[in-house]
A and B are shown apart, each in its own frame.
Chain A
Amino acid sequence: MRAPHPRNLPALLVRLHEDEFSGTVRVAGTPGGTLHLRDGLVGAVETPGAPTAASVLLASGRIGDDDWLAACAAQRDEDLLGERLVADGLVGAAELEVVCTAVVFDGAFAMSLGALGNWELSDREPGFVARPGVEPRQLTDETTRRIARLGSLWGPASDLARVRPVPGTGVVEGPLSRRHEDILNQVNGRRTARDIAFALGRGLYAVMLDLIRMRTLGFLRWEVPGALDGRPSTAARVTPGRTTAPGPPPAPSRTEPLPRRVPRGGEKGGK
């Protein structure tokens, strides 16, 4: 079944919200993902681009593997798994709500960094969902805000998603925060922000913000990777580190933004 009317994913989600749809939306793309909706609200977003609630709870060490497997065995319906985890005393109800809601925003943000293709609606499939879920418009607004924020702090978020930082050469003065230390332990020139997020069980956006901060402090450095497949990138031309004017935030569209022309943007630099 394919939705014929909505032009893009945000529009589709708004319509499904109006219809109080409960079910699954599979979105093709790189990386694409799966959204679980309950009564029109987005309860979970599963994408290879950002950790799910289960990944966050397990990788961060909040819940042990054995306890997790025991809870899964005891509660077969994944929709009710959260309640089971709380009942077992493995995680607090408020903490679970925060984690599950945060990963919905994070997953939507991660999906917006890549190209999205067609979508397909299907019946409700069990999912580890946030209660009550996130209103689609709120999700779109937050995703837009995040991309704009990264754009003003560093540059195109899709470029930041591809960088593989290495430890900086600067001397670390004073004690390093635990969060920054954890990231520094993961950084080795191979891992992207997404890889670090999965390794630490943290959100992709939060890791990206930390990377930018740590680069400013000299703890990290990176080079923006060259264009894929030897073709020029169509991402917005923003020099890393430059603060852009607070222009209209880019919409989380299904296509990459067109190149932004800047004065003296040519290679020669002459007039």
Chain B
Amino acid sequence: MGPLSPPSPLSENPESLDPESPDPESPEPPRSSQLTDILTSLRDRVMGVSESVLSTVDGLLVVADADTVHPESVAALAAATLGVSRRIAEQAKVGALREVVARCGSGYVIVLAVGERALLTVMGDDGLDLAAFQRESPATVDELTKVLAADVAH
């Protein structure tokens, strides 16, 4: 597959996908909206999904379908969460990590890998339809992976 990610975490690639990018002339917005549409569609299809954040594996925000959370913070924490969880899965010898599900007092936070270069963090309420999420998330990850695959060419 060749090199998958730009060498520097401060590369312009993820930055240009950021909806708050200072460069209004960027040719990227169509693809950003394409990514946001995929996130919005997940919220439509799975009952209880409230927000989601797509980030790079090194913790930079790509796009977010956010409401109350601070997307940049979630992006950074998602990278740490997945990294630590992979290590504990390795320690526990329970196979490769599929996703991280944090079950909390009034909802869920789920972090899953999107290919090898991105992460998806999904926040849901107490009634999140986990079965529907398990059914729908592979397709969402697949769609996101396909759109993000174009990043390699830039």
Contacts and interface: CB of A to CB of B under 8 A. Distances in A.
Contacts, number: 43
A30 B136 CA distance: 12
B67 A199 contact: no
B48 A48 contact: yes
B67 A48 contact: no
A50 B125 CA distance: 11
B47 A49 contact: yes
Interface in A187-205: 188, 190-191, 194-195, 198-199
A31 interface: yes
Which of B47, B67, B105, B127 counts the most A-chain CB atoms under 10 A from its CB? B127
A55 B105 contact: no
Which of B43, B47, B48, B50 counts the most A-chain CB atoms under 10 A from its CB? B47
Interface string B121-132: 000011111001
A119 to B, nearest CB: 15
B127 A50 contact: yes
A235 interface: no
B127 A198 contact: yes
Interface string B96-130: 00000000011000000000000000000111110
A55 B126 contact: yes
A91 interface: no
B106 A48 contact: no
Contact of A48 (B43, B105, B128): B128
B46 to A, nearest CB: 9
Interface in B28-67: 43, 47-48, 50, 67
Given A50-B127, A55-B126, A198-B127, A190 B106 contact: no
A51 interface: yes
Contacts of B127: 47-52, 55, 194, 198
Which of B43, B50, B106, B126 counts the most A-chain CB atoms under 10 A from its CB? B126
A51 B126 CA distance: 8
- Counting contact residues on chain A (CB < 8 A from B), the size range is 10 to 19
Given A58-B105, A59-B106, A195 B129 contact: no
Which of A49, A65, A198 counts the most B-chain CB atoms under 10 A from its CB? A198
A115 to B, nearest CB: 13
Given A31-B132, A48-B132, A198 B125 contact: yes
Contacts of B132: 30-31, 48
A191 B127 CA distance: 14
A59 B106 CA distance: 7
Contacts of A51: 126-127
Which of A48, A51, A65, A198 counts the most B-chain CB atoms under 10 A from its CB? A48
Interface of A: 30-31, 47-52, 55, 58-59, 65, 188, 190-191, 194-195, 198-199
16 contacts: A31-B129, A48-B48, A48-B127, A48-B129, A49-B47, A51-B126, A52-B127, A55-B106, A55-B127, A190-B43, A190-B67, A191-B50, A194-B47, A195-B50, A195-B125, A199-B125
Given A31-B129, A194-B127, 12 more contacts: A30-B132, A31-B47, A48-B47, A48-B129, A50-B127, A51-B126, A51-B127, A52-B127, A55-B106, A58-B106, A59-B106, A198-B125
